[in-house]
Amino acid sequence: MANTREKRKNLILELLHDKLYVPMKRRELAAFMQVTEETRKEFDLILDELLAEGLISVTKRGKLVLPDEKEAVKEEDDAPLIGTFEASKNFGFVILDNKRRSPDVFIPKEFTKGAVTGNKVEIMITTPGNENRKPEGKVVNILGHVDDPGMDILSIAMAFGINSEFPEKVLNQAEKLNKPVSEADILGREDFRDLLTITIDGEDAKDLDDAVSLSFTDEYYELGVHIADVSNYVQESSALDREAIKRGTSVYLADRVIPMLPKTLSNGICSLNEGEDRLTLSCVMKIDKKGKVTDYKICESVIRTRHRMSYTEVKKIIEDNDPEMLEKYADVSEMIYKMQELSLILRDMRKRRGAIDFDVPETKLILDAEGAPVEIKPYERNEATKLIESFMLAANETVAEHYYWLKTPFVYRVHDVPEDEKLNKLKTFIKNFGYFIKTAGGDAHPKEFQKLIEKITGTPEEALLTRLTLRSMSQAKYSTECDGHFGLACDYYTHFTSPIRRYPDLQIHRIIHDDLRNRLTEAKKNHYEEILPSVAASSSKLERRADEAERETVKLKKAQYMASHIGEIYEGVISGVVNWGIYVELENTVEGLVHISNLRDDYYHFNEEKYELVGEDSHKTFKLGDKVKIMVKSVDLSMRVVDFILADFEENSPIHDFYKNGRNSF
């Protein structure tokens, strides 16, 4: 009997380890394994044993997975519970920010901790709820009032477990390290202080971790990418390092940055500020006229940035030949023109090999002093931003290939080929619009996606198909295996260029130092072999957490902005058509839904083949890319969604007032 049970346990484990296994619930797995009624009890007991032994895990949706898979998609019950407190005479309720967790939680009076209506609070569940009873909890922390400036963003950060405060020990350590570069610090480094070097960043950036230089001849360019040597200050296993690995990345939330490292370092001695000596790691590349790196040097260095330039200023030089900017930066203008020349060569080289460039407009939020959104617009990705992108890509590829062939333990940035199921769904969908993607042996080359993006550019369906193509992609992650980067169409890639804000970059800088100083002993290699898998896994997980928090912040600010524009009329483009209505995207990147119930004077049905809504009587059609006028009908701030109605009427007309005042239904 014991042998039979063990065999069955192993059979279940083998299935879950199979690369073709799709996570299933208990009953689904039982059906898949053809478990009979007589053996179902034994099957459940075996699953319980495997769960108790930690050999398998269960997701929030009740699906059975391996423990590392569960860890990779961190359970939401693991993050703090944040919500808004509402007081009653003898008890209170907390309306949770994350509606997926639970709508609200009952708080007995003795556990309110003095919270009043409108307080943002952190709570702990004391009694789980069920179908007939709400969960009970207690207030563990009062964060402030819902109307306090910045409280909305702080709540989102805390709900994701992102801490904006540093422990005192970490702050003290950072303060002690924030000293000017000394001659002793420079000893043994390449001295690039006389090299014409500049930083190019956003106007508001304060953590400048990359600088660039360029010299050139008729045959080749010599590009220097100089990266802040953060690892010189943040030693492994120090208080700073332990805090940095817990954070994994800096998080950018609308009006603030929650940094990976204290600002004393990130904006101070580790920032490549204009006119100041700074320690760096440099990747200096000799690049021919076809964009090929023919020689390179990776070294410890010291630089002194000549100018702190902004993307806007560089754009004015390379796109507009602006006389004022040319005069202001006369000493570097020729170099900037040559940088643009090299950038175009590198971009063309990447395009030829098949790299995919998803030029999806990001959102730029303009907030007032109180944190309220006053303007929302697409973030401009111009020639200056592309210039820096192309140089950072070149350095990351060069460093990755170098350490791959050294066969030393390392952390790579990898991007797998699209999964078969996602790829097949995309192929089926785009076929409805007359597009196709060639596959060989089930896989597609990145060039096929590049061709698709080129074909749909400028078409009515561009926005939708670009988004769907992005969703079909695998998620990029960190790995100790150099498995290549599908989206960039390259075999070797890493993150070397942002150690101030990304932990993997900081980690590989330590490995580079050990290599350059001949300290990569077998013992050191074994040490890195041991720690790097967990560094890669935790960094990938924390990156996803940061991305989701950033998305939620943008959604909230968009909703807040549109809430102050109820009744206003805008022109937009239909960005999605579904059986419950049409999605309309405005020029400012805000997207809202016109529900099918608000499409008046007809009954509309959804044409699934063409993704259109068609009127039964009028035969009026709503399809992707159509321009429509909408009026902002309502906003749900708690759910962060915006509702529109069609504005096929004049603003300030009686019917406009009728809809504006919310009387559009009986």
Same-fold call for 82-148 versus 565-660: yes
Residue 331: what pLDDT? 97
Residue 559 three-state SS: helix
Question: At the top level of CATH, which class does the domain 2-72 belong to?
Answer: mainly alpha
Q: What is the mean pLDDT of the chain?
A: 90
Question: What is the H or E stretch that residue 70 is in?
Answer: helix 67-72
Helices within 406-502 (DSSP H only): 420-431, 446-456, 462-472
Dihedral (Cα; 639, 164, 149, 147), 10-degree rounding:
50
Strand 591-595 to strand 641-646: parallel, antiparallel, or no bridges (unpaired)?
Answer: parallel
pLDDT at 631 over 60: yes
Residue 63: pLDDT band by 50, 70, 90 thresholds? confident
| CB within 8 Å of 152: residues ≥ 6 apart | 146, 371, 556, 560
Confidence band, pLDDT 50/70/90 cuts, at residue 498 = very high
* pLDDT of 26 above 80: yes
Which CATH fold topology does 82-148 show?
OB fold (Dihydrolipoamide Acetyltransferase, E2P) (2.40.50)
Q: Does domain 565-660 have CATH number 2.40.50.140?
A: yes
Gap between the Cα atoms of 566 and 631, Å rounded: 8
Burial code (b: 16+ CB inside 10 Å, e: under 16) for 622-638 equals: bbbeeebebbbbebeee
Q: What percent of the chain is modeled with pLDDT above 70? A: 93
- Is a pLDDT exceeding 50 seen at residue 71? no
651 in Cβ contact with 571 (< 8 Å): no
Indicate the burial class of 458 (C-beta count within 10 angstroms; 0-12, 13-18, 19 or more): exposed
Please report which confidence band the pLDDT of residue 72 belongs to, taking 50, 70 and 90 as the band edges: very low
pLDDT at 19 over 70: no
Helix-helix angle 462-472:420-431, to 10 degrees: 160
199-228: per-residue pLDDT in tens?
A: 999 998 999 999 999 999 999 999 999 999
Q: Map tokens 């939708």 to a residue.
A: 464
Q: Do residues 260 and 228 touch, judged by C-beta distance below 8 A?
A: no
Q: Is the pLDDT of residue 100 over 80?
A: no
Running DSSP on this structure, what letter comes out for residue 230? Answer: G
pLDDT interval class at 348 (50, 70, 90): very high
What does the pLDDT look like over 411-468, one tens digit per residue? 999 999 998 888 988 888 888 888 999 987 777 899 999 999 999 988 888 877 888 8
Note the pTM of the prediction, 2 decimals. 0.84
The CA distance from 464 to 470, in Å, is 10
**Which tokens in the block code for residue 587?**
């020029």
Domain assignments of the chain as residue spans, ordered by start? 2-72, 82-148, 168-416+474-554, 565-660
Pairing of strands 293-304, 57-58: unpaired
